[in-house]
Structures are given as C-alpha cells and as structure tokens.
Amino acid sequence: MTAATRADSRAATPERILSLDRLAALSSDALRGLYARGSVPDDLTALAGRPKGRMLAVRGLEHGPAGRLLRSLARSPKFPWDGKSFFADSPDEGRGINRVNLVVRRFEWFPFTTRVEPSVLDGQPCVYLDYEQPGNPWFIARIRDEIREVAPDLYLGPAMWKRGRGRAAHLLWFAVDFGTPATP
C-alpha cells in the first residue's frame, strides 16, 4: 500500500483503537503481549514512508517520577527522535534511517537495513532493523531494533543492546505510525 493510498483509506475509516498515545500509556508487560500478537507484512514494500515515531517505555523506569518524566518528554514536540524513514528495495529487503530534530537543525542519522528474521524476544518473525552499516558508530551497530504491526499502519518494537551469540538486552519500547505524518 502506498503512502497516498494509506492516506485515502485513513480519511474514510474511523479512529483506530490503538495509537502512539494509547501505546505510550501501556506497561512494558502489556507492550510485550501486544508485540507477541503482532505480525509482519507479507511484503516489506509496505514499510515505505516516513512514519512518526515515539519512545514508549524504558524498561525498569516506567513507574514513578522517572517514568512519568520520560513519557512526558517522549510525547513532547521537542523530543529529538521524530521517527524512522523507510525505503523498500525489494519485497524482502529495505533500508531506512532515523530522523532526529535538534534545536537548530534536523538530521537523518544512523542508517539501517530491514529484513524479516526471528525475533530475539520470542523466536517468531519480526522485521529486523540492522544497524551494522558502514559509517555507523560502534555503539549504534550494537543496537537491535525489531518491529511488528499491531494495528493498521502502527508498528511496535523493542530496542535492544546486542550482547553476542544472538542474545540482546531489552532496553525500551518504541513505535512508528505510518498513519501519522512525520514532522515536515
């Protein structure tokens, strides 16, 4: 489905049950359950676009004042991470880059490739965002992002720190919403 087709279909449909705001209100456990029920597209060309992104919950800091502060910052238009841009190279592979808005300028940083492979969390298929790309700093190459569709055009995923031999420490939850336009 193209971005224009998605926009046309959104105009004719009622509000979705899930949104970035609704996902941000969920606990890490609820997000994990939702992710486990998510799916991957049959064709990665479905991921072409500039979806709005949101950090949802940092594991271990989701409750109390720290959790409330992080959720408030992530919801703010001043939060630096705006989302990811995705480009389809074929039905099986793609690429993308993160969009970061700093006070004085907008950047596209930290490219990744995409492909379907088993999730480190549960072994089921996910879209893996591979940051082991030329030019990325070593600490970015150690990040493992995965996503699954949990509602039409809404993808949820864990951001993890690779620990070696197919293991990763889960750090936080994030989502990208192809139904919400990215900051121009």
Torsion angle of the four alpha carbons 72, 76, 79, 81, in this order, in degrees rounded to the nearest 10? 100
Q: Is pLDDT of 9 > 80? A: no
Structural fold of domain 3-9+16-181: Lipocalin (2.40.128)
Over the stretch 35-65, which tens digit does the pLDDT of each residue have? 999 999 999 999 999 999 999 998 877 777 8
d(CA 166, CA 106): 34
Among 121, 126, 131, 117, residue whose Cα is nearest residue 41: 126
Q: Cα separations (Å) of 7 from 11, 46, 51, 92, 97?
A: 6, 13, 12, 24, 22
Instruction: Delimit the domains of the chain by residue range.
Output: 3-9+16-181
pLDDT digits 0-9 by tens, 139-154: 999 999 999 999 999 9
Q: Rounded to the nearest 5°, which phi and psi values hold at 180?
A: -115, 125
Letter for the amino acid at 175? A
Q: Output the pTM of the full model.
A: 0.88
User: For all residues of the chain together, what is the average pLDDT?
Assistant: 88
